[in-house]
Amino acid sequence: MWLLYNKGLVTKLFRRKWSYDSAIICSLCGMGIEDIKHLIISCEVSKEVCYSFGNLVGFSTNFRSIEEMWSNFRIQRKQFGGTPRGKILMILPHALCWSVWRERNDCVFRGTKVYVQNIALRVLSLHCHWCKGLLQMTTEVIEVH
């Protein structure tokens, strides 16, 4: 996530800037130029995945930039605090971005086909795993005090 936030993901456009010979079309949708903004914000595949989860927890996913996405999630998370919804919103953007990136890498390096359902399942699985870890950490902190 640090690489995403600091615009350091090695997308196809990033590779082109470093003189690696590669096509720069998005691996997920096959339409846009694959840079960080496109991959996370503008790509039709990513937008569809984000939209489904946005509807599920009740927030807008119509972002114009990665900074706006982080800001909106922070505002929503503060609004719901320590409630279950707040905890979901704390982890969800990370699970969404990581899952999109992993699916993109599978497509590029393993030649897999892209299915929105696969990304959604990956998000759910990762989110559940991270929530479970968060719950265990919270329980351990309570037991220590």
What is the predicted pLDDT for the residue at 23? 75
Q: What is the pLDDT along the chain (145 residues), one digit of tens a residue?
A: 555 555 656 666 666 665 665 678 899 999 998 888 899 899 999 999 988 887 777 777 788 888 888 888 888 778 887 777 777 777 888 888 889 989 998 998 899 999 999 898 988 888 888 777 766 655 544 444 4
Q: Quick one: 18 exposed, middle or buried, by C-beta within 10 A (0-12, 13-18, 19+)?
A: exposed
What is the predicted pLDDT for the residue at 31? 92
Q: Cα Rg for the chain, rounded, in angstroms?
A: 16
What is the predicted pLDDT for the residue at 16? 61
Instruction: Give the tokens for residue 50.
Output: 């984000």
Backbone phi, psi, residue 122, to 5°: -65, -45
Only one residue has tokens 């939209």, namely: 51
Residues 6+ apart with CB under 8 A from 98: 1, 126
Instruction: Write down the H helix ranges in the chain.
Output: 2-5, 12-17, 36-37, 44-57, 66-80, 84-110, 116-144
What is the predicted pLDDT for the residue at 144? 43
Instruction: Give the tokens for residue 9.
Output: 């993901």
Q: How far apart are CA 29 and CA 51, in angstroms?
A: 16
CB 107 within 8 A of CB 114: yes
Residues 6+ apart with CB under 8 A from 64: 41
